[in-house]
Amino acid sequence: MLGLCTALLVLAALYAAQSILAPVAFALFAIAIVWPLQRALAAKIPAGLALLITLVVAVTVISALGWLAVWGFGTVGEWAIDNSGRLQTLYRHWAVLLEQQGLYSAGLLAESFDMMWLLRALGDVAGHLREIISFIGITLVFMILGLLEVPLVARRLLVLQQPVDGQTVLRTCVSVARKFQKYMLVRTLMSAITGLGVWGFASLTGLHLAREWGVIAFVLNYIPFIGPLVATALPALFAIAQFESWQMPVVVFAGLYALQFLTGSYIEPLIAGKALAASPFMVLFAVFFGTFLWGIPGAFIGVPILIALATICENVASLRWIAGLLSGQSGASG
């Protein structure tokens, strides 16, 4: 009971302190990713200039991803507004067909579907984008302060012996950072492959906004499970409006699902190797639990946190059995 109560209190604290803990978690993750760049630059140029260049690179990459997301979803939203009358007519048509099959609530849904609903939905998306921009700003502040203190913390850990072995902690942090770097490299590569695949498949089937669907698939692929699902379902829904039949939407959904399944279940594990192996159940749990705690940022950071926990457990003899459970393998790697 004591352990259960402690766990509940910790979860409540994580949920209540989202505005602080989520940016800190992202800042630590970003520091682990960009630190090799800053260290390499600091060996050749002054430390302050190395920090500035590192931050410029990080902000440029984040801004580029944000711009791609805004451009992709914005173009799709403009298409929906331009074809609002067609969407309304098509929606009512399908509602009548469903009513004929005994689903009488479909007619009520059709009456409530109008462009004001669509505009409100787009407004909600814009609100989330503003929240994300504010979140990124806070994260950058923590990231700057963290990058300045990395060498100092490393030196302190090297001489620390009590209450923990500082060198073991430092080796664990380095191992976590390397896995984070490989994780982002693999996710970026798989996102690019997925985005190009979706673009090519959409163009082959004649689906409108092929480039936009490819860009959306590229950006959303950074969020495991949820991102690929959204990137598959949205084009299929728009295929209904474009082709006004059920055959082509089924083809679009099946083709995109097969592409996502191929890249996620076969190509990605082959590239990632055993270093990033994780139980599919735990990955799904990490994504949904992170979403519950911290929203969209939590959906992204859930898997890196899972990787960090598994790596920490690998380096603690009494916890290696937990690492084996998290990895989904018969035993944890040392």
For the stretch 236-264, pLDDT in tens is 888 887 877 778 889 999 999 999 888 87
- Residue-level pLDDT at 199: 95
Positive or negative: CA dihedral 201, 202, 203, 204: positive
Please, where are the H alpha helices in the chain? 2-16, 18-42, 47-82, 84-100, 105-112, 115-159, 166-205, 210-220, 226-243, 247-262, 268-272, 280-314, 320-327
The reply to whether omega before 163 is within 30° of 0 (cis) is yes
How many Cα atoms occupy the beta-carbon half-sphere of 285 within 13 Å?
Answer: 8
213 has a pLDDT exceeding 90 = yes
Which pTM value belongs to this model? 0.81
Give percent of the chain with pLDDT exceeding 70.
80
Averaged pLDDT for residues 89-93: 65
Averaged pLDDT for residues 77-102: 66
When the pLDDT of each residue in the chain is averaged and rounded to a whole number, the result is 81
Position 332 confidence tier, pLDDT thresholds 50, 70, 90: very low
Integer angstrom CA distances of residue 92 from 79, 101, 154, 243: 19, 14, 64, 16
